[in-house]
């Protein structure tokens, strides 16, 4: 765990760079479909909505939303970009889970099962990200009246707002996926 703590942001940014590079290579090699390619970028754009707003408000000192346990080695714009690529990759893992857990045809018409897979994945991975971050010296969200603490982990608060974001985001992503599939 100490290695992760000492190198948290290096690992974080390396993965953030590896995700789009992997998607680009897989697309160029025709190992992923045009549909998957588009879903990655839709997921990245959806992630940008909260990454930009939360990081900018916090980074400019307008609202204290989160606290870096270990100061990041770069300007917050790099965190926004990296974490948006992470979000795109996280959405693609959700798509892979839908492909594994749901019968064909997938993403053709509304399916409660498909949406449920994306929602459960969204909640599980968000909780895992927050636990990993607070346990590894990354960041912690600051509790407030609009972002109450759910529980303490490793002396840090795990709050409601990130979970709510990942309750809404999969719904937006799913409807975008349905629309993209329809037009493909």
Q: What are phi and psi of 68, to 5 degrees?
A: -80, 120
Using DSSP, state whether 39 is helix, strand or coil: helix
The answer to whether the beta carbons of residues 70 and 11 sit under 8 Å apart is no
> How sure is the predictor about 4, in pLDDT bands with cuts at 50, 70 and 90?
confident
> What are 44-90's pLDDT values in tens digits?
999 999 999 999 999 899 999 999 998 999 988 999 999 999 999 99
> What are 16-37's pLDDT values in tens digits?
999 999 999 999 999 999 999 9
H-helix segments, 29-111: 34-59, 76-101
């Amino acid at each position: 765990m100490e290695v992760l703590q000492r190198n948290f942001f290096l690992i974080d940014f390396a993965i953030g760079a590896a995700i789009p590079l992997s998607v680009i290579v897989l697309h160029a090699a025709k190992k992923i479909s045009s549909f998957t390619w588009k879903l990655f970028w839709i997921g990245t754009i959806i992630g940008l909505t909260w990454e930009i707003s939360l990081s900018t408000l916090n980074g400019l000192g307008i609202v204290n939303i989160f606290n870096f346990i270990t100061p990041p080695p770069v300007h917050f714009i790099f965190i926004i970009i990296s974490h948006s690529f992470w979000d795109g990759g996280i959405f693609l893992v959700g798509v892979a889970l839908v492909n594994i857990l749901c019968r064909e045809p997938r993403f053709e018409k509304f399916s409660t099962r498909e949406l449920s897979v994306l929602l459960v994945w969204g909640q599980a991975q968000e909780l895992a990200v927050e636990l990993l971050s607070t346990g590894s010296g990354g960041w912690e969200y600051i509790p407030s009246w609009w972002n109450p603490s759910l529980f303490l982990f490793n002396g840090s608060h795990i709050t409601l707002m990130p979970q709510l974001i990942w309750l809404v985001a999969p719904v937006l992503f799913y409807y975008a996926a349905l629309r993209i599939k329809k037009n493909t």
